[in-house]
A = this chain, B = another copy of it.
Amino acid sequence: MIYFRSDYSQGAHPKVMEALVNTNMEHTDGYGMDDHCARAADMIRDLIGDRTCAVHMMVGGTPCNSTVIAAALRPYESVVAVRTGHIYFHESGAIEATGHRVLTVEGIDGKLTPDLIDRALEEYEDEHTPLPRMVYLSQPTEIGTIYSRAEMAAISEKCRERELLLYVDGARLGAALTCGENDLSIRELAGLCDAFYIGGTKNGALFGEALVIRNRQINDHFRWMMKRQGGMLAKGRLIGVQFEALLEGGEGSVYYQMAAHANRMAEKLRTGLKEQQVSFYSDSPTNQIFPVFPKDVVRELEKEFFFYAWAPERDGMVPVRLVTAWGTAEADVDAFLDRVRALYANRK
């Protein structure tokens, strides 16, 4: 079986594994208070051009999101997100578990806009309604689209105007940064938000996300919040070691290279499918694509390839999600395209 199901189906990039093996017998302090975490944090500070931000090494995306949100909000405050946002759609209520509402709006191409933020805030009245205090968005979004520099700047501006914090989920940030359409550098992104994270799990780490907090208020006693939310790893250095390996070389690092490869593989799939007149559920330029196939084609493809149906069948057609990753072999992409071509040829 060939996997297009996720970008976390394999272990880590060999360079990451090598770093883990090489440092394995070192003794260090626990809980992220070690030199590897410190060095990785410094590399990130260099990358984004901010020497004063806080960087925390988090185990995964969900504890990262819930800890930031719980740290940033007072109990009666809520966070605005699109209905497809990860914190609403795929975290089993981890945000609500900390007592906060996710105030959802229907996104446009999976994205928030300043207007949508205004509309979300219309729900707010007074002490009888939760007070919206943060905007959560993902770059790229859950359906693979990306915010342009202008779009992100407009949202950031709107957040300032409406006194909202801006937090960016970068689970697949590499895919956005290395995408042809992208015009928003990590440095610019950092400058536009209060906090964001650089995702490791979905781009070649065993696990781990590097959380960058620029707003000091969110960072107040953040380590207490990490521990309380269960998101502090005893051998915290493991995340530091991995990010050292991932980010060495900055924009030329293996982190950028892997994401670029994943995007290229997705591009090849996209182009190949378009040649077969396949339509798409979302116009994504990154490593997740959402072709729509006839139901019987899906059934045939599932015999050889692992992927998810993304939305319910409608009129015999099923949108599916194909995800490429740093480890996706070009031969597997070719195999998929060949199979689709053959299936479509049969249908005519």
Residue in contact with A221 in the complex, picked from B17, B24, B63, B74, CB distance below 8 Å: B74
Interchain CA distance A288-B85 in the complex, whole Å: 36
A279 at interface (Cβ–Cβ under 8 A)?
no
Interface residues of A in 22-72 (CB under 8 A from B): 23-31, 59-63, 66-67, 70-71
Known: A9-B30, A93-B100, A96-B96. A235 touches B221 (CB 8 A): no
Nearest B residue to A70 via CB reads B75
Q: Which chain B positions have C-beta within 8 A of A223?
A: 127
Q: List B contacts of A59 (CB < 8 A).
A: 59-60, 230, 233
Given contacts A24-B10, A30-B6, contact A234 B207 (CB under 8 A): yes
| A117-144 with Cβ < 8 A to chain B | 122-123, 127-131
Q: Flag if A91 contacts B225 (CB, 8 Å).
A: no
A131 interface neighbour in B17, B31, B224, B238, Cβ under 8 Å: B224
In the assembled complex, the Cα of A206 lies from the Cα of B221 at a distance in Å of 26
Q: Judge if A11 is at the interface, Cβ distance under 8 Å.
A: yes
| Contact yes or no, A91 B227, CB < 8 A | yes
Q: Would A127 and B76 count as touching, CB distance under 8 A?
A: no
Could you tell me if A92 and B130 are in contact, using CB atoms closer than 8 angstroms?
yes
What is the bound-complex CA distance between A273 and B27, given in angstroms? Answer: 24
Q: Nearest B residue to A86 by beta-carbon distance?
A: B128
Q: What's the least CB distance linking A274 to chain B, in Å?
A: 26
| A residues neighboring B (CB under 8 Å) | 1, 3, 5-6, 8-12, 14, 17, 20-21, 23-31, 59-63, 66-67, 70-71, 74-76, 78, 89-94, 96-102, 104, 122-123, 127-131, 201-202, 206-207, 220-221, 223-235, 238, 306, 312, 327
7 examples of A-B residue contacts, CB within 8 angstroms: A10-B27, A20-B20, A75-B97, A75-B225, A94-B228, A97-B229, A230-B231
